[in-house]
């Protein structure tokens, strides 16, 4: 079981990986990068709990899961149980983590890392921000390909992608990276 904030189904390869995926944001992060846009995900234990069986059920019709955070490896025991079950079911796993491998101290963290098909690793460093990278928000972050379906995956940098959604109350949810053009367009729209 893990504590999470939210999940959704996404088909946006540039941001979250190939195919239709369950995007799951874990709740709680101990790393506290300066400039993090997900500060609401830092506090531990204030999300909802989800079991391995529930995640498996949610993943029936997807290519795989993408763990985002929050920091998935701060809940590595629970995340590992989910990863093992999903891999047994033939699903792919993409892990976004602020840790580098050399910082991992728990065997469960290392196991989640090695079982993941793609790992996007490293702190977000505000001074190294670049909105034209695939998966990463700053140039220090690295993508690791492991054996399996994505072993030859080619990273495609060079474009900026954002997803803007309005909910039923007219509130805007934004994910990804907003370039200047989009910022200006959104400012225009919100003025109306
Ligand atoms: S690791 Fe991710 S969620 Fe945690 S502070 Fe850094 S950018 Fe934010």
* Cβ proximity of 131 and 159 under 8 Å: no
pLDDT at res. 192: 67
Taken in order of first residue, the domains within the chain and their CATH numbers are 2-159 (3.20.20.70), 160-192 (no CATH)
Identify the residue whose C-alpha is closest to ligand 1 atom 2.
98
Phi/psi of residue 14, each to 5°? -60, -40
Task: Quote the ligand 1 centre to 122 CA distance (angstroms).
Answer: 9
Query: Does the pLDDT at position 55 exceed 90?
Result: yes
pLDDT digits (tens, 9 = 90+) for 83-123: 999 999 999 999 999 999 999 999 999 999 999 999 999 99
Q: What percent of the chain has pLDDT over 70?
A: 99
* pTM metric for this prediction: 0.93
| Helix/strand/coil for 175 | strand
Buried b (16+ CB within 10 A) or exposed e, 96-130: bbbbeeeebeeebbebbbebbbbbbbbbbeeeeee
Ligand 1 centre distance from Cα of residue 191 (Å): 31
Query: Where do the DSSP E strands lie in the chain?
Result: 2-10, 21-26, 48-50, 64-68, 92-97, 118-121, 142-145, 162-166, 172-176
Q: Could you identify the atom of ligand 1 that is nearest to the CA of residue 37?
A: 8
Alpha helices by DSSP H, the chain? 13-16, 52-58, 76-88, 107-115, 180-191
Residue 83 to residue 80: CA distance in whole angstroms: 5
Residue 47's pLDDT is what? Answer: 97
Q: What pLDDT score does 191 carry? A: 73
């Amino acid at each position: 079981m893990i504590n999470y904030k939210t999940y959704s189904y996404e088909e946006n390869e540039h941001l979250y990986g190939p195919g239709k995926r369950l995007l799951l944001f874990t709740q709680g992060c101990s790393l506290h990068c300066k400039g993090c846009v997900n500060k609401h995900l830092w506090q531990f234990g204030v999300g909802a709990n989800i079991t391995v069986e529930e995640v498996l059920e949610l993943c029936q019709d997807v290519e795989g899961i993408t763990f985002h955070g929050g920091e998935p490896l701060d809940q590595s025991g629970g995340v590992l149980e989910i990863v093992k079950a999903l891999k047994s079911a033939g699903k792919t796993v993409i892990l976004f983590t602020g840790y580098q491998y050399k910082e991992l101290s728990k065997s469960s963290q290392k196991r989640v890392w090695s079982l993941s098909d793609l790992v996007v690793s490293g702190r977000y460093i505000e001074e190294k921000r670049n909105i034209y990278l695939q998966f990463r928000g700053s140039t220090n972050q690295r993508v690791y390909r492991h054996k399996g379906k994505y072993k030859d995956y080619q990273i495609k940098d060079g474009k900026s992608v954002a997803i803007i959604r309005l909910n039923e109350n007219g509130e805007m949810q934004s994910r990804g990276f907003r370039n200047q053009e989009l910022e200006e367009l959104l400012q225009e729209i919100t003025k109306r």
